[in-house]
Amino acid sequence: MKSKIWGGRFRGATDAVLEAINVSVDFDKRLGPQDVKGSLAHVAMLAETGVVTRQDAAAITRGLEQIRGEIENGTFAYSRALEDIHMNVEARLAELIGPVAGRLHAARSRNDQVATDFKLFVRDSIDGLDEQLADLQLALAEKALAEAGSAMPGFTHLQSAQPVTFGHHLLAYVEMIGRDRGRLKDARARLDECPLGAAALAGTSFPIDRVMTAKALGFSRPTANSLDSVSDRDFVLETLAAAVICATHLSRFAEEIVLWTTPQFGFVALSDKFTTGSSIMPQKRNPDAAELVRGKTGRIVGALAALLMVMKGLPLAYSKDMQEDKEGAFDALDSLSLCVAAVAGMTRDMNVDRARMRKAAGCGYATATDLADWLVRALALPFREAHQITGRIVAIAAERGVALEKLPLSDMQRVEPRITGEAFSVLSVEKSVRSRTSYGGAAPANVRKQARRWLRQLRKEQG
């Protein structure tokens, strides 16, 4: 076993149990690219401020560039005996350039190093997720425009409420994903401070230039308090919180896809690309992709809850507990990325049964509110009175087993004698949907306008 870099004051060997619980390179090796990037910025600053000679800095830089290539091409050899990614990189650097490698760690600690690495990783993840979510919005908006006039039942309590259109329904998710992107961008803005140079917890006596390293790594500024710099994991928590809300939105949509693809609904169908069969029932076409999106949301929620529990009792500054910040975050961000890709794929893949949706849109007396609104407009009734009258008319229709638009006028006039045949003009699904012209309403003209607005915005973002 290679000697511990921190082992100067230790005489005995560590127990195998401690070795097992302490090692993190199995998962934090994902921070390899970020670790090298941070080290390159750090050594450039050390040379500029005279902490190391330019000759030594050049040797360190050459070694780090070789290590970066090894990590990128998969040939870097990780050692569990070296505990973490930072020690693995430093040990490899020593193999490549000799003792001068030890000068790299001047004016920093693994505490500020890992905080910087993890911030860089989370920032990269947010940028990747934002691109994916924009693509999902594009897929939804394109489908919404194509289905702007396709009537479907709108639900409350999963009961037929009022007719809407499929395009309008999809645009609801475009709006949700837009807020998700906003939350991730907010999280990115708040993590835009560089911890590097805070050292272990108190800063350093070396004449370093933290602004230089912050700018080199793409941060707006360095963190202002060294204790906070190394003990903060807000940037992970906030990103995970945004991820949880986003995953919840995706799960809701996935649940609807599961419902819509059942024979009982039959609103949409997915192709072989996003469905699987049964090992015993030959007829089955299961929406597994949607179900797994729904299921993976629990993992993402769990990652946030777990990290909150880790952080809730930690005194300042760094504690080894914080090593538990990465595995859950890695898994959550990977899972969310996969879920976004799956939902975008299903959105583009789904085939809409317009006739089936139109038929369902007229069920359950879904245009009853249109009749109540007509009573308000035509007879100048207060809405609450119109609501009572309409409810009694619906009860008669239900007793007769007929649709509202098929109920004889005479039956309506038994409840309210002033009702005329004009009332039937508002009871069709198409007229009901077209009448919802208020801003944000379900009228096809509104849906087309909103879908085109989103498409213009999203395509502009794509350049």
CB 199 within 8 A of CB 226: yes
| Phi/psi of residue 160, nearest 5 degrees | -55, 130
Active site residues: 157, 278
Q: Which residues, 6 or more positions from 251, have their beta carbon under 8 angstroms from its beta carbon? A: 293, 294, 297
At 26, the amino acid letter reads D
Classify residue 439 by burial, with Cβ atoms within 10 Å: 0-12, 13-18, 19+. Answer: exposed
Say if residues 45 and 52 touch (Cβ distance below 8 Å).
Answer: no
Three-state SS annotation for the chain:
CCCCCCHHHCCCCCCHHHHHHHCCHHHHHHHHHHHHHHHHHHHHHHHHCCCCCHHHHHHHHHHHHHHHHHHHHCCCCCCHHHCCHHHHHHHHHHHHHHHHHHHHHCCCCHHHHHHHHHHHHHHHHHHHHHHHHHHHHHHHHHHHHHCCCCEEEEEECCEEEEEEEHHHHHHHHHHHHHHHHHHHHHHHHHCCEECCCCCCCCCCCCCCCHHHHHHHCCCCEECCCHHHHHHCCHHHHHHHHHHHHHHHHHHHHHHHHHHHCCCCCCCEECCHHHCECCCCCCCCCECHHHHHHHHHHHHHHHHHHHHHHHHCCCCCCCCHHHHHHHHHHHHHHHHHHHHHHHHHHHHHHCEECHHHHHHHHCHHHCCHHHHHHHHHHHHCCCHHHHHHHHHHHHHHHHHHCCCHHHCCHHHHHHHCCCCCHHHHHHCCHHHHHHCCCCCCCCCHHHHHHHHHHHHHHHHHHHC
Q: How far apart are CA 72 and CA 210, in angstroms?
A: 28
